[in-house]
Structure 1
């Protein structure tokens, strides 16, 4: 029993030590990287902002994952925030990309996700386009546009309806056909 307890305790300590050894090496200042807009179409410009840079407001951004490369972040309207911009290339494929910013002082690293779609969510709603015209089925119409043929067809239907009614009436009286 003691041997099993030692084995389990040793395994738990080894797993804990391995977890600490693989912990991130960057500071855990607890900042986030805000992307505006967070969902874009290729060719759009994205504004990046973070307050994780210890009040200096200076950082270096990396948007290489989406193909934009490195961009600077400088103090923005709020002196403690680092703000920067980059443009998503027109050749960017749809997907989710990690954007990274590394603070110049302290080396804190913050990340944010950028979603690239084929359509922009910030574009105004498009008008609906409704189809017009006839459907080309290859069957053709039963009636033409000639009024004489139309009148003849209506007359034939009227005669058939009258004849059918007369036959049903005779049969109901018991006269036979």
Structure 2
């Protein structure tokens, strides 16, 4: 046991040292695309900013994944960031969308996520819409004739079972 522990511990130490050597020498972020608010309703105005493009650089944003198209990020005095805005289309479906910005000078591209969620309108409640996917039924479809035939078959089976139980209780046999 002692012979295998030392080589394994040495190998683990070597892997850890190699991992530390690959770490960046600075503690700051690499610069992504910040999306504010990160969760928005359809029709909302969204701001994006990034410091990845440099002090006086602009960028072209792409929000076509959510249906908003392209927009411009202009240089800002706030910590050397480029800032831009776009509006989430009213037809946007709930989900997570990737928003991308490409810096004007260079090939640097940054991305951030926008979550489109159902939000109540003016203090009201969100009204549910659509069908509930429970996994039950649906084999026959929504045809009313087939539904009526199924209900009739169940009613006949219930009546027959009741009649048989009644006969058995009276002692008539089956």
TM-score, normalised on structure 2? 0.51
User: What does 1:1-177 align with in structure 2 at a 5 Å threshold?
Assistant: 30-78=30-78, 80-119=80-119
8 Å contact kept, 1:60–1:71: yes
Determine helix, strand or coil for the equivalent of 1:57: coil
Q: 1:77 offset after TM fit, Å?
A: 3.3
Q: 1:57 offset after TM fit, Å?
A: 3.1
Determine helix, strand or coil for the equivalent of 1:53: coil
> For the residues of structure 2 that align with 1:79 and 1:58, how far apart are their CA atoms?
14
> For the residues of structure 2 that align with 1:75 and 1:98, how far apart are their CA atoms?
22
Runs of 4+ in 1 over 3 A off after TM superposition: 123-127
Q: 1:56 offset after TM fit, Å?
A: 2.3
8 Å contact kept, 2:61–2:101: yes
Q: 1:124 offset after TM fit, Å?
A: 7.7
How many aligned residue pairs are there? 97
Determine helix, strand or coil for the equivalent of 1:42: coil
Unaligned runs of at least 5 residues, structure 1: 1-28, 128-177
The alignment's C-alpha RMSD in Å is 2.1
Unaligned runs of at least 5 residues, structure 2: 1-28, 126-174
